[in-house]
């Protein structure tokens, strides 16, 4: 399930992802959105060359995921994640997004002061996904209220500015190029160049998920999303998902490996920003 946040969190939370009673291997694609996840049942292990990593079954924070990851969900795994809008993470958490990039960490180890026990108990006491969303939304709003006036305004580029020339962005923000890059790393967890590359891929993936298959679709998407050509888009997709864009949406052997690309409407519309 992918559910929109309440209006009070619009612009801070992109959407909530809720997984119910799942299990097995899953491909997690790259995403520019940091997140916080609460497990209600089961847990997740990173699949490493040497075998499965340690079980993660407690609340965790993650920065932007810049490469795909293979994970193994324990049978019956249930969780809710809040995907935070890029540039807004610092309004909620005192965390270094560069440190968290591609490396989720337990909340209680990284930010031991956060009040998570009561929220965990409330989530695990209910079976209603919409109630989980309400609990987590209220908790996040509480963090915002506590931090109001105590943190600097988040450095976030206005919509549509990301792909403007770097010098023009810096001038409009009243910064030097060096200050702009420092702000990007602090608020987004990656450089301006890498953020542009990721958002180009995100836009292309959203179009692939939204549009019906047809001849020439990938070429049209590549052009519309600013790639030099289709080969350029293919290279980026392999980097961010481990799959070529065409095979990514065609492969479905029933294993559930690509379940995070298999949202049905209206959840797909939430993920792709069509609502």
**SS3 letters across 95-158:** CCHHHHCCCCEEHHHHCCCCCCHHHHHHHHCCCCHHHHHHHHHHHHHHHHHHHCCCCCCCCCCC
Q: Do 122 and 137 touch, CB atoms closer than 8 A?
A: no
Q: Are 18 and 102 members of one domain? A: yes
Q: Please check the confidence at residue 160 and state whether its pLDDT lies above 90.
A: no
Report the range of poorest mean pLDDT among 15-19, 24-28, 201-205, 254-258. 254-258
Render the burial of 179-189: b for 16+ CB within 10 Å, e for the rest. ebbebbbbbbb
The predicted-structure confidence for 51-95, as pLDDT tens digits, reads as follows: 899 999 999 999 999 999 999 999 999 999 999 999 999 999 988
- Please count the structural domains in the chain: 2
Q: Do 74 and 24 touch, CB atoms closer than 8 A?
A: no
Report the range of poorest mean pLDDT among 6-15, 143-152, 188-197. 143-152
* Mean pLDDT value across the chain: 92
Q: Are 23 and 131 members of one domain? A: yes
> For residue 244, what are the domain limits?
192-272
Q: Are 136 and 62 members of one domain? A: yes
Q: Is residue 166 part of a domain?
A: no
Considering the entire predicted model, what is its pTM? 0.92
Q: Are 6 and 138 members of one domain? A: yes
Q: Is residue 184 part of a domain?
A: no
Q: Choose among 133, 24, 127: nearest CA to 77.
A: 24
In this predicted model, which residue has the larger pLDDT, 153 or 264?
A: 264
The domain boundary residue, chosen from 128, 147, 166: 147
The predicted-structure confidence for 117-146, as pLDDT tens digits, reads as follows: 999 999 999 999 999 999 999 999 999 998
* CATH number of domain containing 45: 2.60.120.10
The predicted-structure confidence for 184-199, as pLDDT tens digits, reads as follows: 999 999 999 999 999 9
Q: Is residue 185 part of a domain?
A: no
């Amino acid at each position: 399930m992918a559910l929109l946040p309440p209006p009070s969190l619009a612009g801070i939370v992109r959407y909530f992802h809720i997984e119910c009673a799942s299990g097995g291997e899953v491909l997690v694609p790259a995403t520019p959105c940091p997140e916080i996840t609460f497990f209600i049942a089961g847990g997740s292990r990173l699949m490493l060359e040497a075998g499965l990593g340690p079980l993660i079954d407690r609340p965790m924070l993650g920065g932007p995921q810049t490469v795909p990851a293979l994970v193994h969900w324990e049978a019956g795994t249930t969780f809710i994640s809040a995907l935070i809008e890029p540039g807004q993470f610092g309004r909620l958490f005192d965390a270094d997004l560069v440190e968290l990039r591609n490396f989720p960490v337990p909340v209680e180890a990284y930010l031991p002061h956060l009040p998570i026990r009561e929220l965990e108990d409330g989530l695990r006491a209910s079976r209603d996904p919409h109630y989980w969303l309400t609990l987590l939304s209220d908790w996040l709003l509480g963090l915002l209220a506590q931090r109001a006036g105590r943190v600097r305004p988040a450095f976030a580029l206005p919509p549509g500015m990301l792909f403007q020339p770097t010098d023009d962005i810096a001038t409009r923000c009243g910064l030097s190029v060096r200050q702009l890059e420092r702000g990007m790393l602090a608020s987004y967890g990656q450089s301006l160049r890498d953020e542009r590359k990721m958002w180009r891929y995100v836009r292309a993936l959203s179009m692939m998920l939204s549009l019906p298959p047809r001849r020439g679709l990938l070429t049209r998407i590549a052009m519309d999303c600013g790639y030099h050509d289709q080969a350029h888009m293919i290279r980026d997709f392999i980097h961010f998902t481990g799959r070529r864009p065409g095979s990514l949406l065609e492969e479905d052997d029933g294993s559930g490996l690509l379940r995070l690309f298999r949202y049905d409407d209206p959840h797909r519309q939430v993920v792709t920003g069509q609502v």
